[in-house]
Structure 1
């Protein structure tokens, strides 16, 4: 029975690459065509595959619906929280998780610093979207047209001399973040606070959230915080792997 299940499940990744005929499925499984046909019929009965008019098979609507339902029911905060706690224990600084909501980016989880000087931030509160590292990571993943439209809609308050001055500078920064895969806020919102952030990706490869490590300069300067970037990125990759159901990146 386990071999039958294994063979049936092996058909699905093949069909995910595109429709396949009976002979191609049998060759992929290294079985006789009659065996492949039995497996395909069983999957078809459960809506996992669909037989086209040209006699080839593709993934069925039921499988796609189940996958979508599963993704919608995964709580990124529940998945990420143990990793945020572990990251906080490793570095001692404040760790945040944030997601996008329309034109805002909101903190949805936080693990406090173990140091006496702490960050003023609250779960459910929007970040300073034009300067915050978590916002840059999330917004950099948007399609270009959407990025440009958003950049034109936003206001650009001068929190500090390092704040993003306007749409052109913001788009340039997002392009850099998109290319390098991480972001910083080195005194852009508060002159005495630095932050590094990395993306959490979903099953579709798109950025679903961002996690960050933040610290007052009195506790950790920008150089020290940048040395934590590899750890932040590894943590984000680990959350992404569990959240998306994919193996961790090497």
Structure 2
């Protein structure tokens, strides 16, 4: 690697840690200020660096464009894959990755349970918005007005005796999901399946996906499934971190 390129990259790395003055950059690179000025001017011209009115240096708008492009090129499915595989290995249970698109919640990925009894689900198939944990965690992040519109248009098919069957109850639960940071499906879609879910957030803090664990009740009871919440939420936070999310006030929530 050329010396100039190495120094320019070091400047970007240092600015990624926080704003710097010319003197600070020169000291950290171990070079004269004129060398830093030459490099910074080139980076400024290409919008990799921005100089404020106090002559402090910050990352420029081109770095934002590249970070978004890098994530878009990988895609949430690729970003989440190693984390989902790890969760599947450690728990032995079915793991799903789902997203909210075009008014539907669909599974993007699935890791099968290692148990003899497995949950039937299919990648790409839409999930009931009122009866699955992963849908609840995705809907809970929508603006209030949009949540209400979604809740008002649902048919509320009753799948089990525990299925939510009206908009008011669903909206109340979605508000609770948003507060607690996870969602549950206590045999609401299938009588023998309990699910928990947590949200994946991007750099802006928006929920872009949900991760869920689905377990037949003959394998684990409801309380045993909920005991897996800390591991599920850690996985969701790890995926969120790889999507550029860095929470300021501790863990953010999720559902499945």
Does TM-score exceed 0.5, indicating one fold?
Answer: yes
Cα distance in 2, alignment partners of residues 168 and 45 from structure 1: 54
* Contact kept in structure 2, 1:8 and 1:40, CA below 8 Å: no
TM-score by length of 1: 0.84
Paired residue for 1:106? 106
Secondary structure at 1:74 match in 2: helix
Gaps spanning 5+ residues in structure 1: where? 16-23
In structure 1, the residue matched to 2:195 is: 195
Residue 161 in 1 paired to residue 149 in 2? no
The Cα RMSD (Å) is 2.8
Unaligned runs of 5+ in 2: 252-256
Does the Cα contact within 8 Å between 1:25 and 1:36 map onto a contact in 2? no
Between the aligned partners of 2:236 and 2:123, the Cα distance in structure 1 is 19
Q: Relative CO higher for 1 or 2, CA cutoff 8 Å, sep ≥ 6?
A: 2
Q: CA deviation at 1:4?
A: 5.5
Is the 8 Å Cα contact of residues 194 and 217 (structure 1) preserved in structure 2?
yes
Separation in 1 of the partners of 2:54 and 2:91?
A: 58
Aligned length: 241
Is the aligned partner of 1:11 residue 2:7?
no
- Local SS of the residue matching 2:203: coil
- Asked if the contact 1:104–1:126 (Cα under 8 Å) also holds between the matched residues in 2, the reply is yes
Measured after TM superposition, the shift of residue 184 of structure 1 is 0.4
1:26 and 2:22 equivalent? Answer: yes
Q: Secondary structure at the match of 1:234?
A: helix
Distance in 2 between residues matched to 1:65 and 1:182, nearest whole Å:
31
Distance between the aligned counterparts of 2:22 and 2:9, measured in 1? 15
- 1:173 Cα deviation (Å)? 0.7
Provide the C-alpha distance between the structure 2 equivalents of 1:8 and 1:220, rounded to a whole number of angstroms: 49
2:220 matches 1:224: no
Work out the CA distance in 2 between the residues paired with 1:87 and 1:39.
Answer: 44
Classify the secondary structure of the residue corresponding to 1:131: coil
2:145 paired with 1:145? yes
Q: Following the alignment from structure 1 to structure 2, what is the Cα–Cα distance between the partners of residues 196 and 182?
A: 7
